[in-house]
Amino acid sequence: MGQNSDTISIDFSKNGSISFALFKPSSTRQSGNSISFLKSIIANNNSATDFVLVKTKTDQLGIVHQNFQQTFNGVNVYNGNYSVHSINGIIDAIKGKYYSISLSSTTPVLTETDALNNAMNYIGATTYAWQDSSLQAFYKSRMNNLNANLFPTGKLIAVSKEITSTEDKLCWIFNITSKEPFDEITILIDAANGNLIQKNSNICNGTPNAYTKYYGMQHIDTKNISGLYILDELRTTTATGNYARIHTLNNQNNSATPPISQIEFTNNTNIWDNNWQPFHVDQTALDAHWGMENVMDYFSTVHQRNSYDDNGGDVLTYMHWDLNKNTAFWNPNFKFIGLGDGDGKKFNPLTDIETCGHEFGHGLYQAATNWTTHTSVENDALNEGLSDIWGICVKNWSLQTTPINWEIGDKMMINAPNLRSLSNPKRWVRFSITRLLCQPNMV
Ligand SMILES: [Zn+2]
């Protein structure tokens, strides 16, 4: 369905399905028919697809919110869900994500028990919550239910190739609480062969696993491919289950555009400390990956924005851009970020969190304004000024700085003075040079 006389506004996911639509009032859209409405406009009446009502809530304004789970031949589809808003029984908006699924069977090869054993092997905890009787007792009392049990129950779920990166798969999904180390993990196990498909910690600020240069030990999310961890993840960006990819790559001191020599940062464990080689060379990739996670979380939590383009756009960052270069930039044509290592005289690596927010901010500005580069001095100044503001917002939001830290570059500049100050813009000489020349991407 394209934008037509029926819709006031409409947006699409990367896979082409409708992520949001606001409709003109029409008696042809009755909330009592939400399911057939979704099936026709979202799933093109695909016979294997259904939508199951999960929850209905009426808010103080009388707007009814119905939440639906997408299913494929009766099996839930991972992350596939829509909310339908209606006023006086007439649907006025829908929002969510649809996956076109193709599976030859919804019968698992692997039993639930075998899948759970594999899941526990992939998690590798020494003790799980259900193995501890005092934790079980505590859980029963918290749930006010004598039958409550921390032992995980598996459910079959259809997972799109957009998530598996290969093909649509039938998986077992478990929520597993481990005691030692403590974590709550959602894990997807391939129901055909027991392979790990995805593993996410549900604990905010999970166990620190990355020793960043500027911010000490922090938690980062990664991806496991055939036993190797890489700096790649799908980060949840909205309450309805949308996500955007954060991918941090090694550009190996090259500067060709588009990049030609990028490789993954790899680690055979998910602990990225000084045992990871070559830690002393690549450590700041951890700062950038963690920084971009915080940028994404800031914009999704505070501004309900789904990545820079509000459409789940990948955040692709190339580390080691050029050789010892004082550079950090947003590339508007190819939509990626490049971060340099600094010359070691004026600049350390340009991977602090305000730089992450600043460069992402250029992407946001481009998406929001259809900016093409250097159209006017005023445009460039607005673009740079807003990016500095976003950088400071992200920095203070994620580090919960008290008092507020208004300085740009206090980590990455060697022998500060800092690069710029938002509380006292005239403090550093660079302010006037940057602003008068209005150089986008000077940093
Ligand atoms: Zn800039």
Greater model confidence, 199 or 359 = 359
Structure confidence at residue 374 as a pLDDT band (50, 70, 90): low
Ligand 1 centroid to residue 404 C-alpha, Å: 21
Write down the pLDDT at residue 60. 73
Work out the average pLDDT over 97-104.
Answer: 94
| Residue range of the domain that includes 152 | 112-201
User: What is the distance in A from the centroid of ligand 1 to the CA of 431?
Assistant: 13
Note the pLDDT tens digit of each residue in 147-179.
989 999 999 999 999 888 899 999 999 989 888
Residue 30 alpha carbon to ligand 1 centre in Å? 48
Amino acid letter at 344? G
- Residue 307 Cα, ligand 1 centroid: separation in angstroms? 18
Q: Which of 201, 226, 252 finishes a domain?
A: 201
Ligand 1 centroid to Cα of residue 371, in Å, is 13
Tell me the pLDDT tens digit for each residue of 19-56: 888 898 888 899 999 999 999 999 999 999 999 999 88
The answer as to whether 168 is a domain residue is yes
Pairing of strands 75-87, 155-159: parallel
Contact criterion met (CB below 8 Å) for 131 and 143: no
Expressed in angstroms and rounded, the spacing between residue 360 Cα and the centre of ligand 1 is 9
Residue 354, pLDDT above cutoff 90: yes
Q: How much distance in Å is there from the Cα of 402 to the middle of ligand 1?
A: 25
Same domain (yes/no): 150, 231: no
Number of domains in the chain: 3
Do 230 and 324 belong together in one domain? yes
Which residues, other chains included, contact 344 with Cβ-Cβ below 8 Å and sequence gap of 6+? 324, 414
Q: How far is the CA of 352 from the centre of ligand 1 (A)?
A: 14
Q: How many angstroms does the Cα of residue 45 sit away from the middle of ligand 1?
A: 47
Last residue of a domain, one of 201, 228, 261: 201
How many angstroms does the Cα of residue 46 sit away from the middle of ligand 1? 46
* Count of helix runs (H) and strand runs (E) in the chain: 8, 24
Q: What is the pLDDT of residue 59?
A: 77
Other beta carbons within 10 angstroms of residue 113's beta carbon come to 9
CA 441 to centroid of ligand 1, rounded, Å: 4
In a domain, 107, yes or no: no
pLDDT attached to residue 95: 86
Greater confidence (430 vs 387) lies with 387
Same-domain pairing of 126 and 92: no
- Predicted local distance difference test score (pLDDT) of residue 432: 42
Last residue of a domain, one of 147, 169, 201: 201
Place of tokens 């005023």: 378
Tell me whether residue 106 is in a domain: no
Residue 192, amino acid: A
Does 104 fall in a domain? no
Regarding whether 279 and 412 lie in a shared domain, the answer is: yes
In a shared domain, residues 117 and 242: no
Q: In sequence order, what E strands does 45-143 have?
A: 49-58, 64-72, 75-87, 90-97, 127-128
User: Which residues make up the environment of ion ligand 1, defined by Cβ < 5 Å?
Assistant: 384, 387, 441
Output the average pLDDT for the chain.
88
Q: Is residue 103 part of a domain?
A: no
Measured in angstroms, how far is the CA atom of residue 382 from the centroid of ligand 1?
A: 10
